Structure 1
């Protein structure tokens, strides 16, 4: 099954993609409602509408397939870490700590973009894409939301979508020298889409170690830049979910990105390996197209950068200040 959200002549609708058309959920349900009910209920809902007259996909504008509860983005591909470390530090390496746990950061659920949307980055000289597959969580009967085992965590994966973690690499590099972030180098836009494909559709693609063995590719202006197998992750998706739930909570509607694939899954990896900005950073008008086996394709367009109001630098003052230094009222 494919789950989507779309705009039809200014009217928002949410439902199933059936063949080459879209059909709303019964009873006015939303994607959030369906995720909260879980995959078994989604199949029942699909049976209710599978023969209904739909609207052709060509007559609607697809939106991001959900409004995420939260977005965690992992760094699960060893090859990507090798390349990106050379881009940042001039030294290609994978630190021992990477192997110990699947590290992630939280990004902004309020700047999510959909298929064919324009991204308007901050002022940057090194705009980049990141080719990822993301797991979308739903409800699994009887399963808690905290400290899940890997097996139980896999059962809360409702489906998968494509994710493009847009990145301003120069801004990101400055931020991470403070040993925190990324922040403004990332949170201006994350593209998701074109729809959610339910996890059961991928059963034939799961290998003996629970990895999702599907091909992912990325093109810039129709030139193939990178490709990889998603099964080259260091951890399968169930283990990413389990780690996210450790001493915390995961809920339906959470999105967990795989992190950037290897073998050219982003430009910065290639810059690090080649020691030069080849291919060049993204520029206004560039079209980034990501294609993932079993899901489809997600297109994003680079729009104009948006200058932000200036802020002053930190005030470096004496640390010997006292309460008496206050200005009297």
Structure 2
């Protein structure tokens, strides 16, 4: 089943995508509530899919973005940090950072260049969406807590990211502007036929810029299956209905920075206004976003030297 949230005739609705149409749920039926209840409402008259604007399927409570493709780590590390190889700690456990759930955009929305960015990049990922809540899950338990999957494009301002990560806290404004989630949410049962003998989802992933293919990979090249990511995310805390867990960017051109790191130059060039990025994931669908001009960065001065005063002046 494919579940979408969309805007039609100035109204936000949710429903089931089927045969080029959307079958709407009753007004007020939010997709996150549908996931939480586990009950699919009755649907109304079909609306042609090409007449609606697809929105992010849900507004998640949180977004964890993992880095689970070894090939991606190797290439991007050289591009962003100037370091070679993969950190040994990467192999120990699936690492993630928290992204901003309030910056999600839809499958065909425009992407404004973030303020101050010169080196804009895409990142081709698949996201799992949590259904039932849980805490301290085992890997065996985790699969039953995955409701479905969507395409996830973790847009990145590489020049901002490279500078701010020198502080040692990970990315902040290099990521804090937009992520595409869509085009809809595909329930987990729909993708079970793609599961390989090692327990990974062997989905084909492709990304193009201006209709020229830049990268392709298999989702099964992840270092850990999604069940491991879910179990790890639930350690010592509670994962909630609607939480989004990104796979991390695939290898073999899943982002530009990986190619920059391998080639030692910005080839292909960073994204610019007018560029169109299209991502297709087998069994899920396609998202297609156009880059448009953004707003200039409002100036903020550098930190002042520390005054070293220990008491307030009288």
Compute the TM-score of the two structures, normalised by the length of structure 1: 0.92
Q: How many Å apart are 1:314 and its aligned residue? A: 1.1
Aligned-partner Cα distance in 1 for 2:100–2:202: 28
Q: How many Å apart are 1:27 and its aligned residue? A: 6.7
Q: 1:215 aligns with which of 178, 201, 204?
A: 204
Partners of 1:15 and 1:30 within 8 A in 2: no
Aligned-partner Cα distance in 2 for 1:217–1:122: 28
The equivalent residue for 1:188 is 177
What are the superposed Cα offsets for residues 103-133 of structure 1, whole Å, 9 maximum, x if unpaired?
A: 0001111111001111122221210000000
What are the superposed Cα offsets for residues 254-301 of structure 1, whole Å, 9 maximum, x if unpaired?
A: 001000000000000000000000000000010000000000101111
The equivalent residue for 1:225 is 214
- Correspondence 1:286 to 2:256: no
1:302 aligns to what SS in structure 2? strand
The equivalent residue for 1:177 is 166
Aligned-partner Cα distance in 2 for 1:316–1:33: 50
Aligned-partner Cα distance in 1 for 2:77–2:18: 43
Q: How many Å apart are 1:305 and its aligned residue? A: 2.6
Q: 2:250 aligns with which of 253, 261, 268?
A: 261
Q: Which has the higher helix share?
A: 1
Aligned-partner Cα distance in 2 for 1:33–1:224: 37
- Correspondence 1:115 to 2:107: yes
1:301 aligns to what SS in structure 2? strand
RMSD: 1.3
Partners of 1:215 and 1:292 within 8 A in 2: yes
Q: How does 1:49-128 map to 2 (within 5 A)?
A: 49=43, 52-120=44-112, 121-128=114-121
Aligned-partner Cα distance in 1 for 2:252–2:96: 20
Q: How many Å apart are 1:323 and its aligned residue? A: 1.8
The 1:324–1:61 alpha-carbon spacing in structure 2 relative to 1, beyond 3 Å, is closer
Aligned-partner Cα distance in 1 for 2:261–2:152: 22
Partners of 1:123 and 1:305 within 8 A in 2: no
Aligned-partner Cα distance in 1 for 2:169–2:104: 22
Aligned-partner Cα distance in 1 for 2:26–2:139: 33
Aligned-partner Cα distance in 2 for 1:27–1:172: 41
Partners of 1:219 and 1:226 within 8 A in 2: yes
The equivalent residue for 2:290 is 301
Q: How does 1:191-202 map to 2 (within 5 A)?
A: 191-202=180-191
Structure 1: 5+ residue stretches without partners: none
Compute the TM-score of the two structures, normalised by the length of structure 2: 0.96
Aligned-partner Cα distance in 2 for 1:317–1:135: 45
Q: How many Å apart are 1:23 and its aligned residue? A: 1.3
Aligned-partner Cα distance in 2 for 1:300–1:24: 25
Partners of 1:122 and 1:188 within 8 A in 2: no
- Correspondence 1:24 to 2:21: no
Q: How many Å apart are 1:322 and its aligned residue? A: 2.2
1:297 aligns to what SS in structure 2? strand
Q: How many Å apart are 1:26 and its aligned residue? A: 4.2
The equivalent residue for 1:158 is 147
Structure 2: 5+ residue stretches without partners: none
The equivalent residue for 1:311 is 300
